Structure 1
Amino acid sequence: MRKFILGSMLSCAFFGANHLNALEVTVDPFGYLGVLYNQGIESSPHSYIGLSARAGANFMLDNNWSLGLGAIGAWSVFSHKDDNAPYKSSGDISDAYVKYNTQRLKFALGRYNTDFLEFDWIAGNIQGVSVKVFDYHKWNYWGMYMDSMLYNGYQYSGDQGNRIATDMNALAAYNPTAKKSYVGGEVIAGGVDYTYKGFRVSPFVLIDTQLPTLTKGVLVQVGAKAGYATNFANTFKSTTLLRGMFQYGDTDGLAGDDLAGLIWIDQAFKHKIFNFGAGFYAILGADGKGSLWTFSDRTRFYGRGINSPGVPATYFANSTITGYLFGGLETNRVKVDAMVAFGIYQEYSLMADYKVWQYRNMKFNAGGGYVYSYSSKAMNSIGSSSLLFFGKFSY
């Protein structure tokens, strides 16, 4: 980080004549350079090497405002297919934002990371505006408008951590072509979070004005999450989550029943460096087609990020009933995720990340793993079986 002093004239130009004193600015650079090798293990397997990079800086002012600017790019280094599918070269301005951050109010406008909302179904960088208000009586209120999103496979996954290497396996920019494929229209969402001791309840509403399907039409989702976290025996932490959602939208592009629903139960335990647990979910749809349309999610699966990057997720296809077991560990240097899912959606995944080197805020991580994922309701965009290796320098 570096600190600079802006003169009073610059202060006046940006923040009004009443801010006559000099402002201190902290510059926080961020970015990474990563390479990923994805090798299919099946008949007619896929095989590609992708290089991705991101660079930017956050300029934090001492009056709670901050400005940010960053760029991202992905390049197909090798592919056994002539059109470089499925790893496409792309690039865009990833970050261009204004933020305001206090204990009572968080606000962001432009192209920015929206994880601070803690919304289960939209994460990572979007183009739009978000606001979150904190109340002293354990209530939080949030709302957002999303015009487009930066899709790179990023999965923000709560207590077990983000999915390893998924943010290097794809890139779809904010441009109109990608917007039509992933977002469609304009998205408005809002909700409330209520926390009392170990309990938390979070209802929400999401509206997309036009689905990116053949028949298009509006998407409406109404849902909630209820959770309870507690410690017992001094060393164990238990987290129980129950999610539910009602959806109206023609997600299959065909005439028929446009209603769908979600029931999802997840139980996790954490003991020192280890985590483990189980879950069950069902996607209800009368016609057996279509899907729960989610831009991102907090599942523990790797099938979306590795074998089928994009929107919607293959494991959220209608009429899917699946149970799963998971486990892993995390230390200062090593992170391991393991998963077995059985039912309509199936997954067997083992992914590992090792911190090879670190100096201050710079580090180099390497790792790999294997992901098998299959659904009889939806095809993977890459393949059902992937052996993965990666390296990533970040700062």
Structure 2
Amino acid sequence: MGRATFLWLNEDGASDFRWVQRRLTPINVSVSGKAAIAGAAFVLLSMPSVIGSPESVYGQQVVKKSQLILQIGEELGPDEYTFNLIADVDVSPRDGGIYVLDGGDQTVKRYDRLGNYVSQFGRAGQGPGEFGLPHALSVDSTVRVYDIGQRRMSVFSLDGEHIRTRRLGLIGPANLSMVFPIRNGMLVGVTTPRFAYGHQSDDPNFAVLALYPTADAIVDTLLVCHSGGTVWHARGKPGPWGIADSPFGFGGAWAVHADSLVAVVNGYTGEGKVYLADSTGLTIMRQFQLPYESRPVSERDVAGVEENFRARREGLGHPVGAIMLEPPPRWSIARRALFAHNGDLWINIGSIAEIDAEQFLVIEQEGDQMSEFTLPAGFQLSAVREDLLYGTAQSELGAGLVRVYKMSSSP
């Protein structure tokens, strides 16, 4: 698991919710209710984890194929098999059951491992186990649903019975958007970036924090990174301002595995750490260096963002005059991360825009092997269990789909 959640301003300066799921790709939900879900997804290369010169990065090539074995979702069908707006997907380690968080219907739909509908739980509301704007879920021994609308987390049994609802508060001045319980009462929390151009509270960064259950509430900062947002504002004026779409990616990634492992990766330096939660707190279990180099955002990059921004505004009938753009400092090489059920760490290192496919680096839990994957086009990865990839896609007409791919090595 690993994601950030926050409120953006759209290109008109109006309040649109954008949330970033475990795939760390923004999903923009406008006041009209329309959404644009970016795609992602597949191939494997073997490489050593000890990084030398660029020529020494890749070792023996091991190509893997992916075959679509299951799809849930229909253009026009019964409610059990249609989705309003898929916010997140996860899979039960107990029986392979699939859980789909529908942010539009504000429910969690549950399917068996073959894609047969089982049940659903949750609903819109402000009571315990009810949702305002659910944006992410995680499944292990329980189902946790995160609600950015009401800033809280609801916990359910795997069968959908409500257990408790907990409000996500403040740690000092930091707003928490996600909280992951780990061993010995510790928590891992993720803060929310604040975009407030011209105001002292403006902070484009997010932080991953370890929270210790002590009387003085000790907080340990594991990672601080830029959110990847590119701010635009009128030249020489306090407004209007907003966030322009840009391809630079989140400046870092994090993931939590069960109640014991926490990974953080700096997307600008490529430095990563995996922590083990034990009786003393969080202990560094391993450190690694990504075999890539982040490059600075150039004037040409910014010009491309501005060109696309202006074209979009003009297409909507809202041209802009002279503006300034404030991009992040670098392109990120670690944009989001997740742990597979076996403990392997999957890190999104970028995407191939021409074919709408995300690229991942996989670091095995055991040994020093690293493998690079390009996922199937249009597929966004949410979970990995054994040789199965779980995630989302869209139909030709834009309907939300859940897809499962099976990995296999080529002869």
Question: Normalization by structure 2: what TM-score?
Answer: 0.34
Whose relative contact order is higher, 1 or 2, with alpha carbons under 8 Å and at least 6 apart? Answer: 2
Q: Which has the higher strand share?
A: 1
